[in-house]
A and B are shown apart, each in its own frame.
Chain A
Amino acid sequence: MPRRYVIVGNGPAGAAAAQAIRARDAGSEITIVGDEKASFYSRPGLAYLLAGSIPEGQLFSRPDEGNRRLGIRRVVARMERLEATEHRARLGDGRSLAYDRLLLAVGARALRPDVPGMDLEGVVTLDNLEDARRILRLARRARRAAVVGGGITALELAEGLAAQGVETHYLMRKDRYWGNVLEPEESSVVEARLEDEGVRLHHEVELKRVLNGRGRVSAVELSGGRRLTCDLLGVAIGIQPRLELAERSGLATKRGILTDEFFRTSHPDIYAAGDVAEVLDPASGQRVLDSLWSVAIEQGRAAGANMAGAGEPYRRPVSFNVTRIGGVTTTLIGAVGSGRADEDLVSLSRGDSQSWRDRAEAFALVSEAGLSRVRVLVGKERIVGAVVMGDQSLSRPLQDLIRGRVDIRAARERLLGAADDLPVTLTAIWKEAVGVAAG
Chain B
Amino acid sequence: MNGFILIAGTLIPLIGSLFLPLMGRFNEKLRNIMALIFTLAALICAAGALPGVLAGEPYSIRFELPLGLSFGFYGDALAVFMALTAASVSSVIVIYSYGYIHEDNQNEYYMMICLFVGAMMGLVYSTNLIAIYIFWEISALCCWRLIGFYRTELTVQRANKAYMITVFGALIMLIGFVGIYGQTGTFELTAMKGMYIPAWAVVLILFGILSKSATYPLHSWLPDAGVAPSPVTSLLHAAVLVKIGVYAYARFFVLTFKIDEIFTAAVPVIAAISAIISAGVAFRENDIKRVVAYSTISQLAFILLGLSSGTKIGFIGGLLYILAHSVAKGGLFLCCGIVEHTVHTKDIRVMGGLAKNMPFTALAFIICAFSVMGVPPLAGFFAKHLVIDGIVETGNVALGAVFIAAAVMTVMYLTRLFVKVFLGPQTFPDVKEGSPVMVASVMILAVMSLLLGIFIYWPSQLAAIAWGGM
Instruction: Decide whether A and B are members of one complex.
Output: no
Interface residues of A (CB under 8 A from B): none
